[in-house]
C-alpha cells in the first residue's frame, strides 16, 4: 500500500475531466462541464502565487468568459493558497463534504449479500444500463444513441489500455448500481458510484465496490483511493476497511 504522503498527493491532484468538457490549468484547475452534467465550472487543485482573492477573481473571470454562471470550488488541505474563507466572504454556499479514503488491495474480502451479482461493463446494453442508473441518481441528461456509442468506445478504449473499467450490479437481473475506476501509478481511483434509491441499503454498492477492487488487483493496483460523500457512501466505505485521510469540501458561487 502507498504511504500517507503518497495517498494525500494522489488525492490532491485527482481531477475528473468529462468527455466534451473544456479545461485549463493556470493558478488552479478549471473544468467547464458539458450540459449533460449540468454545465457550470468546477475549480480545484489550487497552486498559485496569487493570494486567495486573486485566485477567486481569476476563476470567476474565466467562468464568465465561458458564458457560465455557476462556479463550484473543491477545496482541500493541499491548496495553496487556501481560499475557503474568501469564498465564504463572497457568499459561496457550502455544497458537499467528502472524506478521502484509502485501503490496501486486495485487503479483506467485502461481503456481498446473496442474490446480488456484479459484472464488468463491455457491451452497449451494459452501457445503456449504466446510464439508466446514473441519470436519476446524478440528475443527468440521458445519453442518446450517439452518446451511448461514444460511451462504449470510451469504455472499450479504457479496458484495452488497462487504465479504466466500469462495474454494474444487478438484483434479479435489474441493473441497480454502478461505479467506475481508473488505474494511475498503482492507485485504483474509484469514482461515479450510484445506486437507485429503491435498492439502497441492500448491498448493491458493496457489490460494485468489490468488483472494482477485484479488477484493480488483477491489474496490479496496490491502493484503492476514493472520495466518499459523508452523507452516503462514507459510512459504507469505513465498514469495508477504508481508512480516512482527510476531507475535501465544495462551495457553490453564483457569478
Q: Is 21 helix (H, G, I), strand (E, B) or coil?
A: coil
Low pLDDT (below 50) residues in the chain: none
Q: Where in the chain do CATH 3.40.630.30 domains reside?
A: 106-221
Cα–Cα distance measured from residue 224 to residue 177, given in angstroms and rounded to the nearest whole number? 19
3-state class percentages of the chain: helix first, strand second, coil last, to nearest 5: 35, 35, 30
Q: Which residues contact 232 (CB under 8 A, 6 or more apart)?
A: none
Q: Which tens digit of pLDDT belongs to each residue from 71-84? A: 999 999 999 999 99
Which CATH fold would you assign to the domain 106-221?
Aminopeptidase (3.40.630)
What pLDDT shows up at residue 104? 97
Q: Is 175 helix (H, G, I), strand (E, B) or coil?
A: strand
Q: Is 106 helix (H, G, I), strand (E, B) or coil?
A: coil
Q: Which tens digit of pLDDT belongs to each residue from 116-135? A: 999 999 999 999 999 999 99
User: What is the number of helices (H) and of strands (E) in the chain?
Assistant: 7, 11
Amino acid at each position: 500500500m502507498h504511504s500517507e504522503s503518497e495517498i494525500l498527493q494522489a488525492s490532491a491532484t485527482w481531477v475528473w475531466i468529462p468527455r466534451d468538457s473544456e479545461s485549463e490549468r493556470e493558478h488552479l484547475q478549471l473544468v467547464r462541464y458539458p450540459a449533460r452534467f449540468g454545465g457550470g465550472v468546477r475549480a480545484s487543485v489550487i497552486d498559485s502565487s496569487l493570494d486567495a482573492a486573486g485566485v477567486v477573481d481569476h476563476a470567476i473571470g474565466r467562468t464568465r468568459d465561458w458564458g457560465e454562471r455557476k462556479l463550484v470550488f473543491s477545496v482541500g488541505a493541499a491548496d495553496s493558497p487556501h481560499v475557503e474563507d474568501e469564498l465564504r466572504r463572497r457568499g459561496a454556499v457550502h455544497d458537499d463534504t467528502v472524506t478521502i479514503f484509502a485501503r490496501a488491495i486486495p485487503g479483506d474480502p467485502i461481503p456481498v449479500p446473496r442474490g446480488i451479482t456484479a459484472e464488468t461493463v463491455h457491451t452497449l446494453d451494459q452501457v445503456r444500463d449504466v446510464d439508466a442508473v446514473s441519470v436519476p441518481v446524478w440528475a443527468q441528461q440521458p445519453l442518446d444513441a450517439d452518446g451511448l456509442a461514444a460511451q462504449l468506445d470510451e469504455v472499450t478504449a479504457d479496458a484495452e489500455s488497462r487504465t479504466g473499467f466500469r462495474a454494474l450490479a444487478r438484483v434479479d437481473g435489474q441493473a441497480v448500481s454502478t461505479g467506475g475506476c481508473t488505474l494511475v501509478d498503482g492507485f485504483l481511483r474509484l469514482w461515479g458510484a450510484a445506486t437507485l434509491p429503491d435498492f439502497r441499503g441492500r448491498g448493491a454498492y458493496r457489490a460494485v465496490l468489490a468488483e472494482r477492487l477485484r479488477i484493480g488487483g488483477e491489474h496490479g493496483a496496490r491502493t484503492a483511493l476514493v472520495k466518499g460523500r459523508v452523507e452516503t457512501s462514507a459510512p459504507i466505505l469505513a465498514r469495508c476497511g477504508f481508512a480516512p485521510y482527510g476531507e475535501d469540501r465544495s462551495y457553490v458561487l453564483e457569478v
